[in-house]
Amino acid sequence: MTTVAVPQVPARLGRFVLRMFRPHIYVTYGLLWVLALEGSASAATGTAWRPSGATWVRVVSVVLVLLFLRMLDEQKDLAHDRVHHPDRPLVTGAITAAELRGAMAVIAVVVTVLNAARSASAALLILASLAYGLFLAVLERLSPAVRDRQLLNLAITYPVQVLLGGYVYGSLVAAGTVTADWRGAALLALCAGVFLHFEFARKTSWEAPPGARMYSVDLGPRRSALVTAGFAAGAVGFQVLLFAPQGPLRLLPCLAAVLPAWGTRRFLAAGRGGWPVPVAMGFVVITYLALAVGAVLPL
């Protein structure tokens, strides 16, 4: 058992975060996701929107929950990482499970306090995301099928993203910013399409190294590519459903569809290598950024 002096813990956690939770990726994603979802929830009803103090509470809460889930994943994947990723921090001892669990407890307290100060509903919604993540850890330990079958694992684990999106939308409803209706479900479906396009893109390849957890292993490269493209198309379709009645300028974020279209063509034409992941990441960034900006501008 590794013994770590308490004063060393913050620095060790900091190094873990910088390596396994790269801020320029995860923080940017959390920020843009919340701004796009919150702004679109208002814009879809024709209501003017500006970020507020509550917006930044939601941003901080979502980013912290993503960090909580990343720390949880590090522990869930320990046996797999010992074989296939021996340089991971938990495997090498650069961080310990006890340190990660302590940090997770702190995160749980911080997000609960932040949201309870605004409403009990918001606090319960954010806690539901944390609770589901912990449930998944137990389920994966008990069920080899859930742990090892990539598509089944996605079906079981993706709802934590839905819960996080539901927290953002639900806290808006609780605050009286928007009224709950079908557009909330459509917005969550839009975000699902954006996220799942990237999720499939990063795990779609013509080749698969030993031990790789790839959707293209289960579906085959071509079908995995079509599913990847299909999620992007679905995201664009929900944008049309939500914003077309407000005029063509509201559909400018749909132009980001050029990226997955190009990515699909490039992947299928190459016949080797992986999906161009930076292009898929660009689709996420441009779509969410355009939705957030469009919600602010009087189009």
pLDDT in tens, 9-64: 888 999 999 999 999 999 999 999 999 999 999 999 888 899 999 999 999 999 99
Query: Would the CA dihedral through 152, 153, 155, 156 be positive or negative?
Result: positive
Boundary residue ending a domain (130, 151, 180): 180
Question: Count of domains in the chain?
Answer: 2
Q: Is 185 in the same domain as 170? A: no
SS3 205: strand
SS3 274: strand
Boundary residue ending a domain (180, 195, 230): 180
The residue type of 299 is: L
The whole-angstrom separation of Cα 173 and Cα 121 is: 10
Place of tokens 């058992």: 1
CB neighbour list of residue 164: distance below 8 Å, 6 or more residues apart:
62, 65, 66, 129
∠ CA(221), CA(224), CA(229), 5° rounding?
125
Domain of residue 269, residue span:
181-299
Note the pTM of the prediction, 2 decimals: 0.93
Q: Is 66 in the same domain as 121? A: yes
pLDDT of residue 2: 59
Length of the chain: 299
Boundary residue ending a domain (152, 180, 208): 180
∠ CA(140), CA(142), CA(147), 5° rounding?
30
Q: Which two tokens stand for residue 231?
A: 């999620």
137-181 pLDDT, tens per residue? 899 888 888 888 889 999 999 999 999 999 999 999 999 999 999
